[in-house]
Copies of this chain bind each other. A is one copy, B any other.
Amino acid sequence: MDNDNRRASRRTEVLSNHLLPRPHTTTTLLSPSNCLSYSPPELSSSNPVSFDTSVMRSLLDGHNLDDRDWLFGLIVQSPLFNRQERGGRVFVSVDYNHTMEQQREETMRRIGYLLDRGVFRGWLTGDGPQEELRKLALHEVISMYDHSLAVKIGVHIFLWGGAVKFLGTKRHHDKWLRATENYELKGCFAMTELGHGSNVRGVETVTTYDSRSGEFVINTPCESAQKYWIGGAANHATHTIVFSQLYINGGNQGVHAFICPIRDSSGNVCPNIRIAECGHKIGLNGVDNGRIWFDNVRIPRENLLNSVADVSPRGEYLSSIKNVDQRFAAFLAPLTSGRVTIASSAVYISKIGLSIAIRYALTRRAFSMTPNGPEVLLLDYPSHQQRLLPLLAKIYAMSFAGLELKMMYVNRTPESNKEIHIVSSAYKATFTWNNMRTLQECREACGGQGVKSENRIGPFKGEFDVHSTFEGDNNVLMQQISKALLGEYIVCQTKKQPFRGLGLEHMNNPVPVLPSQLRSSILRSSEFQLDLFHLRERDLLGRFVAEVSQYQAQGESKESAFNLVSPLPCFVNYSFIDSLPYSLYVLPELSSCRGLGQSFLRTSNTENLHRGGVEGASWFIEGCLGSVEVVICLDFCG
């Protein structure tokens, strides 16, 4: 960053020129640079057609391209989405200078517009992988426009609707699913309480059964039992799912889910329900998070979501059990879908941030490398390449990984649920943390423009920050993964049985041996890349197991020993590596090979970037070897 590096010294020089009677300061006259003007990268491209971005786009989006384009078209057509034309291009974005109250109403109006055009058709009444992929694709497009819009819709359809669908039975499906899809009602999901977020088992809301009237009575016994952060509750929701302890004849049967109306159709809060505001947030102000208190609210017996347990009219507690695994999977499914959509949208947001930062670096010039020479593009500075290109390469890898996760999810079976739970947890945590890190680097790489709301990167940081703690706190998820891998490792070691699942099958093979000479051809071979993955995971897992057992040897309980060891830094699932026409590199060993990476950097040619915009992936393997954890190379060009 020699350009910036000269900043203060040049300013100093300018000033000291006045002070110091050096001959050159009086004779040499500065000439201001030619007037700068914006020119988009593609205009300065030497060969605009040599890179087929449509091929790349279909590889990256992976599915339902026409559905995505259709929805993009709907958004761009409507004034509700703040359409603006500049330089022959159309831009849409939320106006973050509006108050929380304004943003909430705008969000509802946008939902109405999308509803009228059939966007949500089949999101609950449809079934099968194709319907699910369409829903996921459209939801991704929505989250690229605005996180509030995506979350407001997600709460109503994925959480409320999903709970009705997966925890309810026919009587609930018939009554609620299509009505939800058509927004005849507005649902929310009251699980979290002020006193209990992660610890759902400890919720303090109490529901009892009154056999005389055949009703359940829901009550909030104390302040910490108030439902908190309930999206939709503050302004719009008419119904909610209530998670509550169920008492039958004085005995607590644990947490159950009930359907409870909270507002009438004209928006008046129902009797014995109290609702308050959660207030302004750093993002998601288009979502009306609220607090709910229940004062012995009575609901019909039929409102218990009874796919797994029921209460008879006379008040007997009944738990019917058929295929345990399937029922179990059905319970986890609605929770898993949240992690899948979060992981996927985090990748899309990183892509937008990187596109903006890299296009800016390809148009913004600063300083000349030679005296009185022309000013240089930011991206021509090695330090700027090192800041952005590894993150770009990484997001390619995560994009394909997220695609693979979606396919695992929509094709889930009872047998695959455990692996999906682990992989979705790992990707949700890894991708959302990476998203925040990526957005921060992009923000700083754009200088002051990065904090300007209309440039999107800055607001994304506030909008998507919540990703790292909702739908499973990232730190918690990483520990779950560590525990699952630890358990698998110990079972297989003690029982001397081969590893199966969780991507650990490679542990059954002999330890890979790396070639001593790392030539480019070797670096590009997927066999070598896989060996690196495998060595890395063997090492991480081995050290983790050793640390835990060390504490146990010191007399710690297994739980306590696990507590005292930091979770595995990373989880890599590479079952998808061979399933796509690209190869994935994880090269921690190479991060020290600065010379190698640097020489690549120095020979890099930003014209390639001009050509492909952010899609110039075949270039990034060159740009990133020196300093990056994950580098990707798309080989379909050659």
**Residues of A at under 8 Å CB distance from B?**
1-21, 25, 29-33, 35-37, 95-100, 192, 194-204, 206, 221-225, 228-229, 245, 251-255, 278-285, 308-309, 319, 321, 324, 327-328, 331-332, 335, 366-367, 369, 375, 381-383, 386-387, 421, 425, 436, 440, 443-444, 447-448, 450-454, 458-459, 461-462, 465-466, 468-470, 472-476, 479-480, 483, 547, 550-551, 559-560, 562-564, 566, 594-595, 598, 601-602
Contacts and interface: CB of A to CB of B under 8 A. Distances in A.
A282 B455 CA distance: 10
B206 A32 contact: yes
Contacts of A278: 452
A5 B559 CA distance: 10
Nearest to A365: B195
B35 A224 contact: yes
B19 A321 contact: yes
Contacts of A566: 383, 386
Copies in the complex: 2
Given A280-B454, A444-B469, A466-B451, A29 B202 contact: no
Nearest to A476: B4
A585 B285 CA distance: 43
A16 to B, nearest CB: 6
Nearest to A205: B32
A3 B195 contact: no
Nearest to A203: B32
Nearest to A454: B279
Nearest to A98: B99
User: Which of A201, A245, A328, A601 has the most chain B CB atoms inside 10 A of its CB?
Assistant: A201
Given A10-B199, A245-B32, A444 B468 contact: yes
Contact of A18 (B29, B279, B309): B309
Contacts of A328: 12, 15-16, 19
Contacts of A421: 8
Contacts of A468: 444
Given A12-B328, A255-B14, A563 B20 contact: no
